[in-house]
């Protein structure tokens, strides 16, 4: 896999940033998480006056071979149908991108349908879906590298346009299945505690999903052995859209750009990214705690504190986008609020 040079943000300005936040005309700590966010973004950008410019959102779409095993209530054609819907502005992701001024890129990295002639979709198709990981690795090493590079390329283009914060989402029927497996293997959590309803499975459907995934993990252990690496686990189970998101997260961290993290699937990608490069975590802002089974536990195990808890489980990056207003408020706080001296107000704490 491509190597990234990811460094933890320097702490040289931490004291100056914290002092500026503490001396704004408010009681110390009274703006809670906004103050923490302002500190994090200021450290990422290495300035006491951070900016949120040209925010970019990448919507990666791909299909999964494991869908053939009936692990999702939705059929795979929903992936390409929704991708086309996004180009017409009709998805949840479109609404939130319009609301918050995000530049939306819709990227086909592996949809099982010919979208080459659809205006508004960036064609970076690796294959028409991954292989079925019940029987074999989802992708080859070459395909994994291609997906990582596609995600990194999207970040490069956004940063070239002046983006200081990026967000990513996904469209891929059955992608809660690899997410559940990654959570189980990377965090050493029993698989049963990681498997949820996805797009709406009933209890019988969840039991079937668990059976398929548990057999997949056993086959993985037989095939890869006890020496399987993080990269092996990513390649064996991941979707092209998920690995592209990992590449985007890592490249953003390498370029010292803030990364907004969405729900269960994107949090699983963040987990994989952090297993590869622990310092990437410092650049991540977790938008929300979703309604998918296991997401709250995954966030807790990662030490991530989501900004919202609205019962969301749509995907597409919508939960993270919902949280952007809070991030914007944090940056406006440190940039626009007056301090006690300039406002001629006596410190009252």
Q: Looking at the annotation, which residues are catalytic?
A: 316
Q: Which helix H or strand E contains 103, and what residues bound it?
A: strand 103-110
- Nearest-10 Cα torsion for 20, 261, 8, 43: -10
Q: Report how far apart, in Å, the C-alpha atoms of 47 and of each of 33, 260, 262 are.
A: 19, 19, 26
**C-alpha closest to that of 288 among 317, 256, 268, 328:** 317
Query: Looking at the chain, how many residues does it have?
Result: 349
CA distance 265 to 189: 16
| Cβ-proximal residues to 242 (8 Å cutoff; 6+ apart), any chain | 60, 62, 170, 172, 175, 178, 179, 265, 268, 269, 272
Q: At what angle do helices 264-276 and 240-254 cross, to 10 degrees?
A: 60
On the 0-12 / 13-18 / 19+ scale of CB atoms within 10 A, 339 is middle
Query: 64 near 178, Cβ under 8 Å?
Result: yes
């Amino acid at each position: 896999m491509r190597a990234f040079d990811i460094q933890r943000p320097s702490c040289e300005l931490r004291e100056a940033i914290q002092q500026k936040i503490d001396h704004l005309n408010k009681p110390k700590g009274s703006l809670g998480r906004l103050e923490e966010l302002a500190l994090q973004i200021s450290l990422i950008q290495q300035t006491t006056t951070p900016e949120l410019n040209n925010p970019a959102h990448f919507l990666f779409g791909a299909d999964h071979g494991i869908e053939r095993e009936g692990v999702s209530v939705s059929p795979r054609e929903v992936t390409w149908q929704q991708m086309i819907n996004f180009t017409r502005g009709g998805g949840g992701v479109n609404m939130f991108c319009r609301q918050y001024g995000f530049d939306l890129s819709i990227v086909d990295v592996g949809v099982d349908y010919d979208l080459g002639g659809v205006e508004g979709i960036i064609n970076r198709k690796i294959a028409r879906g991954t292989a079925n990981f019940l029987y074999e690795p989802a992708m080859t090493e070459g395909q994994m590298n291609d997906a990582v590079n596609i995600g990194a390329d999207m970040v490069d283009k956004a940063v070239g346009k002046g983006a200081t914060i990026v967000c990513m989402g996904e469209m891929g029927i059955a992608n809660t299945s690899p997410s559940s497996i990654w959570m189980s293997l990377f965090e050493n959590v029993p698989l049963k505690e990681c498997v949820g309803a996805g797009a709406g499975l009933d209890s019988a459907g969840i039991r079937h999903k668990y059976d398929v995934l548990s057999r997949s993990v056993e086959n993985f252990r037989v095939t890869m052995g006890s020496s399987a690496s993080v990269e092996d686990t990513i390649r064996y189970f991941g979707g092209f859209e998920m690995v592209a998101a990992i590449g985007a997260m890592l490249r953003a961290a390498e370029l010292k750009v803030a990364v907004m993290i969405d729900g269960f699937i994107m949090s699983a990608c963040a987990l994989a990214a952090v297993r590869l490069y622990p310092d990437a975590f410092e650049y991540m802002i977790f938008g929300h705690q979703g309604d998918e089974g296991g997401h709250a536990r995954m966030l807790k195990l990662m030490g991530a504190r989501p900004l919202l808890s609205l019962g969301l489980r749509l995907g597409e990056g919508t939960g993270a986008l919902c949280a952007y207003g809070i991030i914007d408020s944090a940056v406006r706080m440190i940039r626009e609020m007056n301090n006690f001296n300039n406002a001629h107000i006596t410190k009252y704490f």
